[in-house]
Structure 1
Amino acid sequence: MNPGYELPVDNVNYNFAFLDEFAKREIRRNILKAISIPGYQTPYASREMPMGRGFGTGGLQLTLSLLGAGDTLKVIDQGADDSVNAVNLRQFVELTCPGANTTERAAEANIIQSRHRIPEDKLTADQILVLQVPTPDPLTIVEPSEARRKIMHGEGDYAPLLTRLYEDIVQFDEIAISNRYPTRLNGHYVIDSSPIPRFDVPKMHQSAALILLGAGRERKIYAVPPFTDAVPLAFEDVAFRTEAFLDSKGERRQCDRCTSVTSYLDEIIHPDGSRHWQCSDTGYCNDRCAQLQNAECEEARP
């Protein structure tokens, strides 16, 4: 997108939030269906967007269908607000949604669109989290037929998926899935949790915020309604675990900027070969730096 180009927002032929009203109503109806049956993959007519599929078109369509004048949106990519994908999606919303606001602080947003992360800040009942999803069905890795997968979901037959997890244990002595961890909702449907790390999966359990997941290429919407049980698949003798971020002494690493010991950390290797650890969620890290008034905190990530 050319940053110098401005869409004709005053043109009567131009529709708010890019999508036409019929498209937004259709997506909203399917969102309601998805909320009614937690984890059920609701098909919808995914529209063409002015960006390549795989760059968050599914999540963006959900966001544009929900966003209105006066709403505040935060866009995250890999936890960062300043990545190329996050900046472009945020600019697109700013150009096509006059009256809507954008922010880099999770607490100020009532709609949060994210790719690969759930914010560190605890979400509230007044917020909606939209996650981008490349492959919505966790059974894809064990069953190629969509018709057969639908039957398996309906019957709650996830034995092949559990076998896949067991094969990991046999080979690696643990479940080796690092992201998109299969998660069971309300004791029935198992969902693909999107490419969020295992660290973020427990945040779905009994979340006060509504979580919507959209796959533009696969044309599917599914949801984790507020205060819904979301339990990662595991075994009694091999429990689900998250990333620990331990150092050589077995102690939990802290963020080099804000000193957080509870957040998901990114490892950053500097040109001199030194290794540093920082919060993946840049908005959360910046807020902590401001609160701590730490002189060592920098305005930008190195």
Structure 2
Amino acid sequence: MTLASLTRPWAPMSYGFLDASARREIRRKTLKAIAVPGCQMPYASREVPIARGWGTGGLQVTLTLIRPESRVKVIDQGADDSVNAASLRRFLARVSGATGTPDTTRATIIQSRHRIPEERLREDQILVLQVPNPEPLRPVEPNMSVARQMHADADYSRLWLILYEQIVRSGRVMQGASYPALVNGRHVMTPSPIPRWDLPKLHMARHLTILSAGREKRIHAVPPFTRVEPLVFSDVPYRVEDHAGLTCDRSGLRGYFMNEIPQEDGSSTHELSDSHLGIKAIHRAEGSGAGPAETWYQDGEFRQ
């Protein structure tokens, strides 16, 4: 036996950027998070070449899951071509050899900030959501030790009180993004800053969803076919954003989540938040593509 046989050739970095110890820990904590849906699992968040608060948690999970044969889609508020999304996708391809794709149906790993794609995800796809604040009890209990005890006791009465106060003051629930949801009938989670429009997409979904907060060092997950129920009163039903009557100015699609684009004359137009869905619709209209796949919503109505 020689010393050379016990060592490896020097390399500037490990495969997938993270070292083996970091990947092993994140995999273990992810498995624990899947075993207890909605429960936050602490982990030692590593340094990655982006600032904390810009998706370090999601990036670490993706780096742990990625393989050379993976096809990765990165979304920033619905867009694939933003600076953040393009930079992360290029970094992931460079350190792993994986292929980047803007097509939801072709991707095996989808890392997203603020949105879930409009096209339905399959069993063989993994959704990784970047989460700035994973603790739903923080607005009502700033002491995290007390908040952990409240989770252990399933004591979410203060969250119900906040929703009740919103109804009394405004006549409806005003909570927009990060709407609290009960996972598997046990733990309440905040599903990242996705809009209310996207929350029904997690209920009994076929795909695995992993939510990771790098700055807060927490991972939680929603396994396939798991109940995700927004906190609502029996006489005040859950309502998503009313975008059913809006039409995308570029693609002509309607009934999906839209971004409002202010115009110089004071008016506004609307554009699909899911940018690649609009591109597919344009290609179909031009006869150069098959068009979008099956979507969660049809004419503004969610389809199970």
Q: Is the structural similarity TM-score above 0.5?
A: yes
2 CA distance for matches of 1:260 and 1:200? 18
Residue 11 of structure 1, CA deviation: 6.3
2:105 counterpart SS class: helix
Report Cα offsets for 1:206-228 as digits up to 9, x if no partner.
11010000000110000000010
1 CA distance for matches of 2:175 and 2:81? 28
Match of residue 283 from structure 1: 276
1 CA distance for matches of 2:132 and 2:164? 24
**In the alignment, structure 1 residue 265 sits paired with structure 2 residue 258:** yes
Normalised TM-score (structure 1): 0.90
2 CA distance for matches of 1:64 and 1:20? 10
2 CA distance for matches of 1:181 and 1:294? 40
1 CA distance for matches of 2:192 and 2:13? 33
Report matched runs for 1:249-264 at 5 Å: 252-264=245-257
2 CA distance for matches of 1:209 and 1:80? 21
**In the alignment, structure 1 residue 233 sits paired with structure 2 residue 231:** yes
Q: Which among 119, 134, 153 is matched to residue 117 of structure 2? A: 119
Give ranges in structure 2 of 5+ residues lacking alignment.
Answer: 1-8, 289-304
**In the alignment, structure 1 residue 47 sits paired with structure 2 residue 46:** yes
Report Cα offsets for 1:75-100 as digits up to 9, x if no partner.
000100111111111121122112x1
Report matched runs for 1:10-159 at 5 Å: 12-98=11-97, 100-159=98-157
Report Cα offsets for 1:18-48 as digits up to 9, x if no partner.
1011111110111000000000100001001
Percent of matched pairs sharing the same residue: 47
2 CA distance for matches of 1:271 and 1:123? 38
Normalised TM-score (structure 2): 0.89
Residue 162 of structure 1, CA deviation: 0.4
Residue 291 of structure 1, CA deviation: 1.6
2 CA distance for matches of 1:135 and 1:82? 25
Note if contact 1:266-1:279 (Cα within 8 Å) is conserved in structure 2: yes
Quote the RMSD (CA, aligned, Å). Answer: 1.5
Note if contact 2:211-2:221 (Cα within 8 Å) is conserved in structure 1: yes
Aligned residues: 280
Residue 272 of structure 1, CA deviation: 4.4
Q: Which segment drifts farther, 55-64 or 266-275?
A: 266-275
Give ranges in structure 1 of 5+ residues lacking alignment.
Answer: 1-9, 247-251, 296-302
